Amino acid sequence: MGATCSGKSSLAMKVAAESGVLIVCCDSMQVYRGLDIGTAKANAAERACVRHAMLDCCDLPDVFSAARWAAAAAVCIREENNAGRTPLIVGGSGLYLKALCEGFADIPPEKPQIRADLQQRCDAEGIKALHAQLADVDALTAERLNPKDTQRIVRALSVFLSSGRPLSAWLAEAVPEVPADVPVFVLDMARDALREKIAVRFQLMLDAGWLDEVHWLNDLDLHLADTHPVLRAVGYRQLQAYVRDDCSLAEATAKGITATRHYAKRQRTWFSHQTADAVCGDAVMLLPLICAALAKSNEQLSK
């Protein structure tokens, strides 16, 4: 695991090419067909060299949630285990890894009218008022969430008002998809180096035709809801402003690079808090440790 642009894929390819393991992609955007360049999805040559799973799982406007990813990824993992092989989970979507290893509760669907009413209240009263209400009915979730996190605060309140139970109570009943110890390795690099690498890669992806993907996404007559994950994807969202003539390409690029850097910062914070037992380091340090862990796991599977 690790922040975007930290070198996870190249390290994983090196490990997989030498050991022949399957790479299970843990990425919330790479599951969508058509989003290739902007998600840094493995290309045809890389897929021909190393087996990949959990890429191109669905077509828009379908929504591929963390729970859905975890269930599908667990099937891939069990198939590999049954064949005596240990797959390598690679990505930066920490919530997806959490869903796989810790599970998601079977939360009932939200009632559409309740969600709509909360959105209207948020627009009229501000998210501060909704966060205060959440603190009254679900103090654990309110404390965990950023007071400015509109999406998750509205979601938590909607769950409570729809089901009559706090979100924290539902989450306490989560069952992991993979009930086993999963060693986690977090690839890290110096902040300034990561910031520079993000800017360079953003431009390289533009040179590779990223804007064609953004035009394709913008032209899809799918009436995607504003809450669809793809419309919040870092980079795509900023470049869509350019495609829609709301700003210049230079402005969209600058905003996209800044948004990607902020996203990387959030990812690093997530992994530092949510994967406390992980082994963190650079590629040179982690490479032999990952190979040793794979060898140990495969040995256990063979017994």
Cα–Cα dist 142/270, whole Å: 17
Place 47 in a pLDDT band, splitting at 50, 70 and 90: very high
> How would CATH label the architecture of 112-171?
Orthogonal Bundle (1.10)
In percent, how much of the chain has pLDDT > 90?
Answer: 72
Instruction: Give the pLDDT confidence score for residue 112 in this predicted structure.
Output: 84
Instruction: Give the pLDDT confidence score for residue 23 in this predicted structure.
Output: 98
Q: pTM score, two decimals?
A: 0.81
Place 107 in a pLDDT band, splitting at 50, 70 and 90: confident
Instruction: Give the pLDDT confidence score for residue 277 in this predicted structure.
Output: 86
| Residue extent(s) of CATH 1.10.20.140 domains in the chain | 112-171
Q: State mean pLDDT over 182-203.
A: 96
| Residue extent(s) of CATH 3.40.50.300 domains in the chain | 8-104+175-302
Cα–Cα dist 23/155, whole Å: 32
Question: What's the mean pLDDT when you consider all of the chain?
Answer: 92
In whole angstroms, what separates CA 180 from the centre of its chain? 21
Place 228 in a pLDDT band, splitting at 50, 70 and 90: confident
CATH topology of domain 8-104+175-302: Rossmann fold (3.40.50)
Tens-place pLDDT, residues 54-87:
999 999 988 888 889 999 999 999 999 999 999 9
Closest to 96 in 3D by CA, of 77, 71, 76, 61 = 71
Instruction: Give the pLDDT confidence score for residue 163 in this predicted structure.
Output: 93
Q: Is 4 exposed, middle or buried (0-12, 13-18, 19+ CB in 10 A)?
A: buried
Closest to 143 in 3D by CA, of 36, 152, 151 = 152
